[in-house]
Amino acid sequence: MTLEKQAATPLKDVKAFAQKHRIEMTDAQNILDQHGTDRKSADKAARRIAL
């Protein structure tokens, strides 16, 4: 079996994440792409940007 790249984060999740942290959607997408399913580290990264 070959490993396939995980699908991109759905737009609704990116939008909700951006609204929750009051950051731009592009920043939210970058954070979610970088941290994947680890919401704790994604939330921490978003808090650093939202300052």
The pLDDT-based confidence of 50 (bands split at 50, 70, 90) is confident
The number of beta carbons lying within 10 Å of the beta carbon of residue 46 is 21
Element (DSSP H or E) covering residue 33: helix 25-35
Look up tokens 């951006």; give the residue. Answer: 18
- pLDDT for the residue 24: 96
Write the DSSP symbol of residue 22: T
| pLDDT tens-digit series, residues 6-47 | 556 788 899 999 999 999 999 999 999 999 889 999 999 999
Assign 16 to helix, strand or coil: helix
CB 32 within 8 A of CB 46: no
Please give the distance of CA 13 from its chain centroid, rounded to a whole number: 8
The pLDDT-based confidence of 51 (bands split at 50, 70, 90) is confident
